[in-house]
């Protein structure tokens, strides 16, 4: 990490270790709690309900390594992210999972789920029909009913009931995590953000892999230390990153080593994961449903009104963004369709954009040349 600091480096190492050693964490968690671990695809998975059942929900993510195991199962023109996720299952890297589930988002990741269901032995699997038309007034009642069915399915699998108190407790733990994440991200609005984009990515990625109570305790330690952090690292150009899945820490590190800092993002392994809370009062299932229906949308669900563009512009403004890197997983149609509108809106707001297409492996050297040219252009703009 590049920051010169009085911060206890162990605090950030905790988040990094959780991300890197996610399998070990999950196995130890199982031994410690006797609970089950559920792998989920896509951030529309209602984690609160699983957590209330004593389950640890963990996000299935790829490894960014070359692989040749998915070809018989999934079309090569499906996005690299969903092929990389499936490869992890086929290679046995998630052998500690007791179950898998998905809440409907895009067809590509659903294919990863379906192939996993068919070819990788798992005790439990569940497909949740999360509605696409989230702007419909019928979306929340529809999802509430689907959550009831999911709850019954979990109860049958686990052989025990999930009561409202347990769901309320789970909501409180998850909402606490979101509040703490916001506080950390708020600090990035300042002239000298006390954490780099790489550090922020470690924090948010690890939250998708570990028990939120452990994560909350680590976030509280982090916040106490960040307020005292002495940052001597120059912030450089303030950047935003936009896209679908982006967990490429090496890429973020490369960009920030070129004289820039990522101060905010809109992608589903970043802010879209934690941005919206569950309302605190009332019947728990409709409140959970409402949270997932009203959250910052993935482009697959952002119609007929395009709400994401206004959200991205608001983020760019409040985090004082100077340039945006628009990354796209190759062949990802939902995001590709959003990019022209996003780029136009950002450019009209005076924020230049750099488009980069990501594959399973990221050509860091080639990207570096393009990033350096982009940053040079932004720095020249600042002079005039």
Of 7 and 339, the one with the shorter C-beta distance to ligand SF4 is 339
Q: Is 329 in the site for ligand SF4 (CB under 6 A)?
A: yes
Q: Applying CB under 6 A, which of residues 38, 61, 74, 79 lies at the interface with ligand SF4? A: 79
Q: Applying CB under 6 A, which of residues 81, 94, 174, 274 lies at the interface with ligand SF4? A: 81
Q: Which stretch binds ligand SF4 (CB under 6 A): 193-201, 202-210, 275-283, 327-335?
A: 327-335
Q: Applying CB under 6 A, which of residues 11, 334, 351, 356 lies at the interface with ligand SF4? A: 334
Q: Is 26 in the site for ligand SF4 (CB under 6 A)?
A: no
d(C-alpha 110, C-alpha 69), whole Å:
18
Q: Is 241 in the site for ligand SF4 (CB under 6 A)?
A: no
d(C-alpha 109, C-alpha 106), whole Å:
6
∠ CA 315-309-305 to the nearest 5 degrees?
A: 135
∠ CA 244-337-129 to the nearest 5 degrees?
A: 60
Q: Is 288 in the site for ligand SF4 (CB under 6 A)?
A: no
Closest distance between ligand SF4 and the C-beta of residue 218, in Å? Answer: 28
Q: Is 106 in the site for ligand SF4 (CB under 6 A)?
A: yes
Of 279 and 336, the one with the shorter C-beta distance to ligand SF4 is 336
Q: Is 245 in the site for ligand SF4 (CB under 6 A)?
A: yes
Closest distance between ligand SF4 and the C-beta of residue 300, in Å? Answer: 6
Of 11 and 300, the one with the shorter C-beta distance to ligand SF4 is 300
Q: Applying CB under 6 A, which of residues 83, 238, 267, 335 lies at the interface with ligand SF4? A: 335
Binding site for ligand SF4 (CB under 6 A): 79, 81-82, 106, 108-109, 244-245, 329, 332, 334-335
């Amino acid at each position: 990490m590049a920051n010169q600091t009085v911060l206890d480096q162990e605090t950030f190492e905790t988040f990094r270790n959780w991300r890197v050693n996610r399998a070990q964490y999950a196995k130890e968690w199982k031994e410690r709690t006797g609970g089950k671990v559920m792998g989920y695809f896509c951030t529309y998975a209602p984690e609160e309900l699983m957590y209330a059942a004593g389950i640890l929900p963990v996000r299935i993510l790829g490894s960014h390594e070359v692989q040749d195991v998915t070809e018989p199962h999934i079309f090569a023109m499906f996005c690299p992210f969903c092929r990389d996720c499936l490869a992890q299952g086929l290679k046995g890297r998630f052998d500690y999972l007791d179950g898998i589930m998905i809440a409907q988002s895009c067809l590509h990741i659903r294919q990863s789920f379906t192939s996993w269901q068919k070819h990788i032995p798992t005790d439990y699997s569940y497909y949740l029909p999360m509605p696409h038309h989230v702007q419909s007034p019928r979306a929340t009642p529809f999802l509430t009913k689907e959550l009831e069915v999911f709850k019954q399915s979990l109860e049958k699998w686990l052989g025990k009931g999930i009561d409202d108190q347990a769901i309320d407790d789970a909501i409180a733990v998850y909402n606490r995590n979101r509040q703490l994440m916001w506080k950390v991200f708020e600090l990035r609005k300042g002239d000298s953000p006390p954490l780099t984009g790489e550090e922020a990515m470690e924090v948010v990625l690890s939250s998708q892999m570990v028990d939120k109570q452990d994560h909350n305790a680590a976030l509280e330690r982090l916040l106490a230390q960040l307020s005292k952090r002495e940052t001597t690292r120059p912030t450089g150009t303030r950047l935003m990153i936009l896209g679908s899945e982006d967990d490429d820490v090496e890429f973020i590190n490369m960009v920030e080593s070129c004289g820039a800092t990522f101060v905010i993002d809109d992608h589903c392994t970043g802010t879209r994961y934690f941005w919206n809370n569950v309302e605190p009062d009332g019947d728990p299932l409709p409140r959970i449903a409402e949270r997932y229906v009203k959250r910052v949308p993935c482009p697959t669900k952002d119609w007929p009104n395009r709400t994401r563009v206004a959200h991205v512009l608001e983020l760019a403004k409040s985090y004082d963004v100077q340039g945006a890197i628009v990354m796209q997983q190759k062949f990802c149609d939902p995001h590709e369709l959003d990019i022209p509108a996003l780029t136009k809106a950002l450019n009209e707001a005076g924020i230049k954009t750099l488009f980069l297409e990501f594959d399973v492996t990221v050509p860091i050297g080639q990207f570096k040349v393009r990033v350096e040219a982009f940053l040079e252009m932004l720095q020249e703009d600042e002079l005039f």
